[in-house]
Amino acid sequence: MALFETTFPPYHPFGSRTLTGGERGTDVAVLQTVYNQSLGVMNPPQGPLGTPIPVTGVYDTATVRAVRNVESYFALTVDGIAGPSVYFAFGQGVGPHVTYGGPAFGSRRLSQGASGGDVTVLQNRLNLYRYATILGAPADGAFGPKTAAAVLQFKLDAIANGQIGLADNSTVGDGAFDALWIYTYAGGRGLFSGRNGFDVVFVQYLLRAYGFYTGPIHGYYDSPTQAAVTSFQRASGITADGTTGQATYHQLGLRNPVAAPSPYPVPPITPATPQVDCCFTLAATASATALARGVFFTHNGPVSGPSSASVQWMLSALLAPPGSYGSQYTGYGYTLNGASFTALTQCTALPSGDAVWTAAFESASAGPLTQAAVTVAPLTAGGVPGSVVLSGSGSCPFTV
């Protein structure tokens, strides 16, 4: 998720490391965000969980205090350390608590053809929202075409809500995992009597919205919660055992038309990213076939000094596969300003097909980028470009 990855680097999968104090990264930001979101809907009866904390991406004093509150509230060892037991209360199974046979959710990239417990978690999380109608069945741990379609729709919904940095494809990588952790609040484990946590909060929230639960939203899987789940299961025509598993997650989602929620308002903790200074269309050349459009933009401003510049660009919808220009071409490549950015003087392989591509680069010596010229061409496996199929240029005023 580019918002977290650029604001709270470095990237660490949520739950992948023990946090004791002072650590920085996206996993800390996810923990802080889910904590705040859960507080927003809870009315715990046994003492406060505290108040929302700043989302800083740093495991700071406020976050340690919040974790101690979580540990106390859910009857865990109170030490302020975010380890497997704390992550489990957040619905993320790692280490001794890994769910559905593993591997842990977020520990590897997922795409069509994958199978395992992490795929089950992915399907459960998607099944709690409108994507249940796309998946069409409870989670089975196999990443097939329907799962691919559900992932794509989830990412498109997130992009439509203003999320940046998610490619419109069905691969689940770093940004998609972060989006799933902060947009989908349950599904990482089965729930039953005595298993408490923030994922229980969301199940209680849905059950109350559907008229099956009238108690407080407190995150405890107690007798009233179990009875509400049983009633819901009976009304849905599935096994009524009071346990929230794959079938129940799917049925909950069939009644929930909600798409990916809007991005959580995360304040920047470093100087704000410069505004978009340069944006122009890349036009198809006479050599192009079935090319829809291309767009180039930059965030142009000082990065590591007054002579530096940061550039991000996006190229949209190259519909023709590179092989349509000759069997020797296996990808696409681009150039930007010739030698202005040394790392970009040669074409670099890009994905083919109907996709949105993004990349970001920095230069400490090129000086403010005032002009940008971009060309795109099919590329051989050895890096030899063919005829240019997209080109464009524009001015880029410098912003301090």
Examine the domain organization and report whether 226 and 305 are in the same domain. no
CA 364, 365, 369 angle in degrees (round to 5)? 90
Last residue of a domain, one of 204, 221, 254: 254
Kindly give the confidence (pLDDT) of every residue in the chain, 400 residues in length, as a single tens digit, with 9 standing for 90 and above: 446 777 888 999 999 999 999 999 999 999 999 999 898 888 887 667 888 888 999 999 999 999 999 999 999 999 999 999 999 999 999 999 999 999 999 999 999 999 999 999 999 999 999 999 999 999 999 999 999 999 999 999 888 877 777 888 999 999 999 999 999 999 999 999 999 999 999 999 999 999 999 999 999 999 999 999 999 999 999 999 999 999 999 999 999 988 887 665 543 333 333 334 455 566 777 777 655 445 554 444 443 344 444 444 444 444 566 777 888 887 777 676 654 333 333 334 444 444 444 444 444 444 456 677 777 777 787 778 888 877 777 766 543 3
Examine the domain organization and report whether 227 and 304 are in the same domain. no
Structure-derived torsion over alpha carbons of residues 131, 136, 137, 142, reported in degrees to the nearest 10: -80
Rounded to 5 degrees, φ, ψ at 235 are: -70, -25
CATH code: domain of residue 290: 2.60.40
CA 236, 123, 128 angle in degrees (round to 5)? 45
User: 107 in a domain, yes or no?
Assistant: yes
Examine the domain organization and report whether 249 and 302 are in the same domain. no
Examine the domain organization and report whether 227 and 302 are in the same domain. no
CA 320, 325, 327 angle in degrees (round to 5)? 110
User: Closest Cα to residue 84, out of 161, 173, 197?
Assistant: 197
Examine the domain organization and report whether 35 and 145 are in the same domain. yes
Examine the domain organization and report whether 295 and 174 are in the same domain. no
Q: Taking every pair of C-alpha atoms in the chain, what is the biggest distance, in angstroms?
A: 70
Strands 329-336 and 390-395: what pairing?
A: unpaired
User: 259 in a domain, yes or no?
Assistant: no
For residue 205, the tally of other CB atoms under 10 A from its CB is 17
**Residue 372 near residue 309 (C-beta atoms within 8 A):** no
User: Closest Cα to residue 333, out of 354, 344, 349?
Assistant: 349
User: 271 in a domain, yes or no?
Assistant: no
Enumerate residues 6+ apart whose C-beta is below 8 A from 346: 333, 335, 383
Examine the domain organization and report whether 326 and 285 are in the same domain. yes
Amino acid at the residue 87: Y
Examine the domain organization and report whether 212 and 117 are in the same domain. yes
User: Closest Cα to residue 372, out of 311, 286, 315?
Assistant: 311
Rounded to 5 degrees, φ, ψ at 332 are: -115, 160
Q: Is the pTM of this model over 0.85?
A: no
**Residue 372 near residue 278 (C-beta atoms within 8 A):** yes
Examine the domain organization and report whether 146 and 292 are in the same domain. no
User: Closest Cα to residue 182, out of 9, 32, 10?
Assistant: 32
User: 267 in a domain, yes or no?
Assistant: no
Domain count, the chain: 2
Sign of the CA dihedral with 327 first, then 321, 374, and 170 last: negative
User: Closest Cα to residue 125, out of 139, 114, 115?
Assistant: 139
Domain carrying residue 281? 276-395
Whole-angstrom Cα distance, residue 153 to residue 335? 32
